[in-house]
Amino acid sequence: MTRNVLPVMTVVCAIFALWYGAAIWLNAPWAYDKATRTGEVLTTQTLIADTWSQKKPKLPAPHQVASEIWDTTVEKKITSKRSLIYHSWITLSATLLGFALGTGLGIALAVGIVYNRTMDMSVMPWVIASQTIPILAIAPMIIVVLNAVGISGLLPKAMISMYLSFFPVVVGMVKGLRSPDAMQLDQMRTWNASPTQTFWRLRLPSSMPYLFTSLKIGMAASLVGAIVGELPTGAIAGLGARLLAGSYYGQTIQIWSALIMAAALAASLVAIIGLIQRVTLKRMGMA
């Protein structure tokens, strides 16, 4: 663990150094342009100072993004429309609802596939095929169509999240439910266990490691779904809306802060699942 800290820190520092350097390089044309108009001569120092503090830079410097995030999370009231926490919560609620629906659907399908041969042969290929379709392409249509029937707000976004997150769960659960080998299944039979008992006592517990791995992928996917689902609503609320509004008005700092927020959200959600996984598997004696 500690062996990895130094390399990771080095890489992270290198990324920040590159970022600062790129900010100078990308923002310099605008700084020079401004200087020639006012007739100033830019020294290296003023150039750097200018490129790191522009209002609408091509690439904002890390500290600009950090201060924007600080400004919109801590300084603003949570109920304010300008608070990033307000927007994050809207995206998060759609993500969680979609994730819950997707996990439920995924587990149900997996149980059906494992226990019903017809379903295995007919549904499974289509579940796989459904993922080769770029489903996010349908996202704006789902939103607009459901809006036309009067369903708006959380549910349409959650449905897109659900669609993206059910697939990893199906694949992982099918693999997990089939992971007990023939000897273990025979053992259950010698104990005269009913199919239900075999399911609850053997198949389900042994599928848990697979389930948690899938949940992590599914969670990240459903956040992407929720963000993309917010794009076609015309930028009202949510992290996706912040991205879209930022791109309309050239507010690059706003885009970057929404992006960092989304990344932090994804990372913490996955970390929470990882924590639950550790505790659960330890209690079950599997880790």
Partner 1 sequence: MMWLFFAFGIWALGWWANTRLAALPRTRVTALAVPVIFGLTLIAVWEGIVRGFEISAILLPAPSMIAVRFAASTAILWEDFVQTVIKGALSGYVIGCGSAFLVAILVDRFDFLRRGLLPVGNFVAALPVIGMAPILVMWFGFDWHSKAAVVVVMVFFPMLVNTVQGLADSSAMQRDLMRTYAAGYWTTLLKLRLPAAMPFIFNGLKIASTLALIGAIVAEFFGSPIRGMGFRISTSVGQLALDLVWAEIVVAAIAGSAFYGVVALIERAVTFWHPSQRN
Binding site for partner 1 (CB under 8 A): 3-4, 6-12, 15, 26, 58, 117-118, 120-126, 129, 131-138, 140-141, 144-145, 148-149, 216-217, 220, 223-224, 227-228, 231-232, 239, 243-244, 246-247, 250, 252, 255-256, 258-259, 262-263, 266-267, 270
Minimal distance in Å, beta carbon 42 to partner 1?
A: 23
What one-character DSSP code corresponds to residue 151?
-
- How far, in Å, CA of 80 to CA of 97, rounded? 23
Minimal distance in Å, beta carbon 43 to partner 1?
A: 27
Minimal distance in Å, beta carbon 41 to partner 1?
A: 28
Smaller CB separation from partner 1, 202 or 229: 229
Report whether 42 contacts 50 (CB < 8 A). yes
Smaller CB separation from partner 1, 111 or 142: 142
Minimal distance in Å, beta carbon 187 to partner 1?
A: 26
Cα four-point dihedral sign 170, 172, 176, 182: positive
Minimal distance in Å, beta carbon 247 to partner 1?
A: 3
- How far, in Å, CA of 96 to CA of 100, rounded? 6
Smaller CB separation from partner 1, 15 or 78: 15
- How far, in Å, CA of 69 to CA of 63, rounded? 10
Smaller CB separation from partner 1, 187 or 213: 213
Smaller CB separation from partner 1, 204 or 237: 237
Minimal distance in Å, beta carbon 143 to partner 1?
A: 9
Smaller CB separation from partner 1, 129 or 182: 129
Residue 94 CB-density burial (10 A; 0-12 exposed, 13-18 middle, 19+ buried): buried
Six-digit token string for 80: 């304010």
Six-digit token string for 73: 């999370």
Angle between helices 84-115 and 154-177 (to 10 degrees): 40
Report whether 262 contacts 142 (CB < 8 A). no
